[in-house]
Structure 1
């Protein structure tokens, strides 16, 4: 699979922060000491270093991390982990990730989200002689659960989703519940703000620590605070970025990353 582009540009990040903080363009431009035209140009996708450096502190974004993204000077180091397979499928004008995590000894597997098309996942299960035991959903947004029905029809696996969400075909559970799949142990953490009941799945039993975070955190960004921007920031800091530095993070969009890389390079979490 070719490298997956970063999910968000500087313009996307600035827009998310402005909406989350409920600041309009006039307020941000005045506080940053830049012209309205300069801010508008930045929000239209035109990078200007001085404007970024003026705006970032107003939006509580990490200046150097944001500038590096604007210069296209950072992309996460490639991550591989035995027992993990990523599927990237198109959905309207974007792509979405879904994952299989499996115990190589028993051949038992779990899926995290379904993406827009589960056929690649089904082919992988067959070719690798894996048995799908669980479908764990990070949240109920349509791009992440689009193919739940066919995945269940082909595998018979039960699906689970956090109790703050509601989805036909999935059983609700409270954050803190443990799941098991072969030798894998799956802890669940509430990472809400982008959605009301978003769940991060933290998995032990592979060769290294793994967290499947949905739209809570992206490489160099995060999901928009649709429900609560402040709570999204807080839960991401306390529930994801406190995991061991080597933890592989599997986001709902964009490339894989690690806790260590996001602590340095994610502008939403300066000083983490």
Structure 2
């Protein structure tokens, strides 16, 4: 199994593609530029089986409908943000002048708890990591040694908490109780910016050392 990082849109939100040798793949956070993402997948002969959302802020969901409709695949989202996809005030698109109000069709499947998950041949664990937003989740691939963390944890930073439902103390709690318990060599595939590791952030992230 391998992963690819595809930055999309004005905010360069990282969409991640996790693929098997047979070409089956999962799409995480298709935030914008649906045609670009579809062309990227087509050139590599990849066959998406699902879209998984770390959370429902507009810069992570902008291409959901275009990609979902093209491949006829389901979308997964945590229940705390079930209403966000179609609500520009909740998904944040209302507050950014460069962004048209965004309304996305409802998710096909709702994540309701932390659990081991299996989609086809893909196996991972869903961690609830709220704070950046109430329904933020992280997808941990233990055997492969990486976690798709959305906007919870970045290289030398953490997610912003000034949008609806944000809570910095809750975010720090999520990071320390869920993410920092992962092996230090675990790759952190963040929603923006470069990939880092759990160990790197334990040692050098200024937002975490004083918690």
TM > 0.5 fold call? yes
CA distance in 2: counterparts of 1:216 and 1:270, whole angstroms: 16
Residue in 1 that maps onto 2:146: 210
Once the two structures are superposed, residues 33-81 of structure 1 have per-residue CA deviations (whole angstroms, 9 ceiling, x without a partner) of xxxxxxxxxxxxxxxxxxxxxxxxxxxxxxxxxxxxxxxxxxxxxxxxx
Residue in 2 that maps onto 1:95: 12
Residue in 2 that maps onto 1:135: 51
1:124 positional shift: 2.9
CA distance in 1: counterparts of 2:183 and 2:34, whole angstroms: 31
Once the two structures are superposed, residues 184-203 of structure 1 have per-residue CA deviations (whole angstroms, 9 ceiling, x without a partner) of 31210010011011000111
Aligned mate of 1:114, from 3, 9, 30: 30
Contact map agreement 1:103 1:181 (CA 8 A) in 2: no
- The structure richer in strand per residue is 2
Residue in 2 that maps onto 1:163: 79
- TM-score in terms of structure 2 length: 0.82
The residue matched to 1:268 in structure 2 has which SS? coil
Shift of the 121–203 alpha-carbon distance from structure 1 to 2, 3 Å rule, reads farther
Residue in 1 that maps onto 2:95: none
- The structure richer in helix per residue is 1
Residue in 2 that maps onto 1:237: 176
Which structure exhibits the higher relative contact order, with contacts defined as CA atoms closer than 8 Å and separated by 6 or more residues?
A: 1
1:129 positional shift: 1.9
CA distance in 1: counterparts of 2:136 and 2:178, whole angstroms: 12
The residue matched to 1:237 in structure 2 has which SS? helix
CA distance in 1: counterparts of 2:184 and 2:71, whole angstroms: 35
Question: Which structure 1 residue ranges, 4+ long, deviate > 4 Å from structure 2?
Answer: none
Residue in 2 that maps onto 1:246: 185
1:271 positional shift: 6.8
Aligned mate of 1:222, from 150, 158, 182: 158
Number of aligned positions between the proteins: 186
1:146 positional shift: 0.5
- TM-score in terms of structure 1 length: 0.64
1:115 positional shift: 1.8
CA distance in 1: counterparts of 2:203 and 2:70, whole angstroms: 42
Residue in 1 that maps onto 2:133: 195
Superposition pairs of residues 1-272 of structure 1, within 5 angstroms: 83-91=2-10, 94-104=11-21, 106-166=22-82, 167=85, 168-170=105-107, 171-205=109-143, 208-226=144-162, 227-270=166-209
Contact map agreement 1:110 1:132 (CA 8 A) in 2: yes
Once the two structures are superposed, residues 245-266 of structure 1 have per-residue CA deviations (whole angstroms, 9 ceiling, x without a partner) of 1111111111111111111111
CA distance in 2: counterparts of 1:90 and 1:230, whole angstroms: 29
CA distance in 2: counterparts of 1:201 and 1:237, whole angstroms: 16
Alignment gaps of 5+ in structure 1: 1-81
